[in-house]
């Protein structure tokens, strides 16, 4: 950051916080013993001063909502999906122009976002945020004073390579004082560790057949990936890596016949299988299926969001959620030990679900709210193609017919230990 920008930030911050007058200096305690390190030069500050070189006032304050965790996707790349929240600390707007994600150890760039691509990946947490379906702006809107914008990041390492141990974010933009020319600003914020643990490799929670992986990770704007929720006083993205499973027939149809009937959906009443052995820590049954098909149901209370469901602990801080089960189908109870492949229930549309599907994800807690959503992979499957449009739970039954717009994968075939990306169509084999 230039000296001009630093002075602008200091002045603006002082005006905003009332810190324009210096605080009185603290007096040393009479007779206090000298510090053991008194007179020594700090390793972090070789000049010996009280403020380390490189310390700056920054126009933005940054935070992240999760520890980025690596997973290999069906595109062959290693993905780190997470969020960078940027809050404007100034009483004047900040124009965000570019975000570079870099290796914090070497400062080497990994990826960069700017222009329309950045505009599409930024959500402002104010009333003027664009609505779902609106085209992305050609540039990001200025971050208003005291406001926060969330940058939805999908950092990829090609060819499935290992990610850096730590990431940093170089933010480039401009401060926009009233009646004056914009002042350039460039600074590093929000360094974050990358999780060292690997994503769990699971078997399939559904039976053999062709399955549409809807609203999955990582780059697409979906209600799972970008579902920011204020829970118990904290922002969370509790469905970051969740996938909605829809079974397709041999013509890639999700439903055949009358979409207002449960039985018309190929997914309905399909068995739900344990994707790993573990212990049941939560189980709920008795909630009704959606009676408004093919339209969405009334939004349920927060405790009924996932409808009839089972949560299974498979390891420390790792819980599998199987949600929206059919009424009366839950086949296990809290405390039961389940084995991989054991039937847990059947697919329905209970809770906040429009048409029959399985909502599946890994949680960090034995609850859906509050919890973080972490990545996972499946042991083996065939990648057959992709649904070319975003057709998700609320609109599947409203399509002219049940046929999904399918495109065969140019790089399809057998896959192992990968996470299906959003809108992938996969073939699961028996056993």
Domain's final residue, options 173, 193, 213: 193
Query: Based on the domain organization, do 395 and 366 belong to the same domain?
Result: yes
In a domain, 38, yes or no: no
In a domain, 18, yes or no: no
Find the helix or strand (DSSP H, E) in which 87 lies: strand 78-88
Query: Based on the domain organization, do 279 and 228 belong to the same domain?
Result: yes
Query: Based on the domain organization, do 240 and 323 belong to the same domain?
Result: yes
In a domain, 357, yes or no: yes
Query: Based on the domain organization, do 282 and 146 belong to the same domain?
Result: no
Query: Based on the domain organization, do 253 and 182 belong to the same domain?
Result: no
Tens-place pLDDT, residues 184-213: 999 999 899 999 999 999 999 999 999 999
Check residue 257 and give left, alpha or beta (phi > 0: left; psi -120 to 50: alpha).
left
Measured in whole angstroms, the distance separating CA 393 from the mean position of its chain's CA atoms is: 18
CATH of the domain at 394: 2.70.70.10
In a domain, 227, yes or no: yes
Query: Based on the domain organization, do 172 and 245 belong to the same domain?
Result: no
Burial of 287 (0-12, 13-18, 19+ CB in 10 A): middle
- Which range has the worst mean pLDDT, 1-10, 51-60, 146-155, 288-297? 1-10
Q: How far apart are CA 398 and CA 187, in angstroms?
A: 47
Percent of the chain at pLDDT > 90 equals 80
Domain count, the chain: 2
Q: Average pLDDT, stretch 270-299?
A: 97
CATH of the domain at 69: 2.60.40
- Has residue 39 got a pLDDT over 50? no
Domain's final residue, options 193, 222, 254: 193
Query: Based on the domain organization, do 172 and 234 belong to the same domain?
Result: no
Query: Based on the domain organization, do 214 and 161 belong to the same domain?
Result: no
Query: Based on the domain organization, do 312 and 224 belong to the same domain?
Result: yes
- Has residue 266 got a pLDDT over 50? yes
Provide the 10 A C-beta neighbour count for residue 267.
Answer: 26
Q: Average pLDDT, stretch 221-245?
A: 96
C-alpha dist (Å) from residue 9 to 3, 16, 148, 253, 289: 10, 10, 17, 57, 55
Q: In the beta sheet, which residues pair with residue 209?
A: 428
Angle, alpha carbons 407-120-159 (nearest 5°): 55
Helix (H, G, I), strand (E, B) or coil at 23: coil
Residue 296 near residue 394, CB atoms below 8 Å: yes
In a domain, 128, yes or no: yes
Q: Average pLDDT, stretch 298-313?
A: 96
The tokens of 7 are what? Answer: 């002075």
320 or 11: which leads in pLDDT = 320
Domain region containing 125: 60-193
Domain's final residue, options 143, 165, 193: 193
**Cis amide linkage into residue 135, ω under 30° from 0:** no
Q: Average pLDDT, stretch 398-424?
A: 97
Query: Based on the domain organization, do 187 and 224 belong to the same domain?
Result: no
Query: Based on the domain organization, do 189 and 245 belong to the same domain?
Result: no
Query: Based on the domain organization, do 346 and 365 belong to the same domain?
Result: yes
């Amino acid at each position: 950051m230039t000296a001009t920008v630093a002075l602008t930030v200091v002045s603006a911050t002082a005006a905003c916080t009332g810190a324009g007058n210096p605080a009185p200096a603290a007096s040393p305690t009479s007779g206090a013993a000298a510090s053991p390190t008194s007179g020594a030069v700090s390793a972090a500050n070789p000049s010996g001063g009280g403020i380390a070189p490189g310390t700056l006032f920054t126009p933005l304050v940054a935070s992240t909502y999760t520890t980025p965790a690596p997973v290999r996707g069906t595109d062959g790349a290693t993905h780190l999906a997470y969020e960078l929240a940027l809050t404007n600390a100034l009483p004047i707007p900040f124009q965000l122009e570019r975000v570079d994600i870099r290796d914090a150890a070497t400062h080497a760039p990994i990826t960069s976002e700017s222009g329309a691509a950045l505009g599409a990946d930024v959500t402002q947490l104010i009333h003027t945020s664009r609505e779902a379906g609106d085209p992305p702006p050609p540039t990001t809107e200025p971050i208003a004073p005291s406001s926060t914008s969330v940058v939805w990041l999908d950092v990829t390492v090609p060819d499935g390579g290992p990610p850096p141990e730590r990431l940093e974010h170089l933010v480039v933009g401009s401060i926009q004082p009233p009646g004056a020319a914009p002042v350039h600003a460039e600074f590093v914020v929000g360094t974050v560790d990358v999780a060292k643990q690997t994503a769990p490799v699971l078997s399939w929670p559904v039976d053999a057949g062709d399955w549409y992986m809807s609203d999955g990770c990582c780059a697409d704007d979906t209600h799972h990936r970008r579902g920011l929720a204020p829970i118990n006083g904290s922002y969370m993205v509790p469905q970051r890596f969740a996938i909605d499973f829809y079974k397709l027939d041999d013509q890639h149809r999700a439903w055949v016949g009358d979409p207002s009937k449960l039985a018309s959906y190929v997914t309905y009443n399909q068995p739900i299988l344990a994707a790993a052995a573990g212990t049941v820590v939560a189980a709920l049954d008795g909630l009704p299926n959606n009676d408004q098909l093919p339209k969405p149901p009334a939004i349920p209370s927060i405790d009924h969001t996932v409808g009839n469901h089972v949560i299974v602990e498979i390891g420390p801080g790792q819980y599998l959620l199987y949600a929206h089960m059919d009424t009366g189908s839950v086949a296990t109870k809290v405390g039961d030990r389940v084995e991989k492949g054991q039937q847990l229930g059947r697919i329905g549309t209970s809770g906040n679900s429009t048409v029959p599907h399985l909502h599946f994800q890994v949680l960090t807690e034995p609850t859906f709210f509050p919890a973080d959503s972490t990545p996972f992979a499946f042991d083996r499957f065939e990648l057959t193609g992709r649904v070319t449009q975003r057709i998700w739970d609320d609109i599947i039954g409203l399509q002219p017919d049940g046929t999904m717009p399918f495109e065969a994968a140019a790089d399809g075939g057998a896959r192992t230990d990968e996470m299906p990306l959003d809108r992938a169509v996969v073939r699961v084999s028996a056993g």
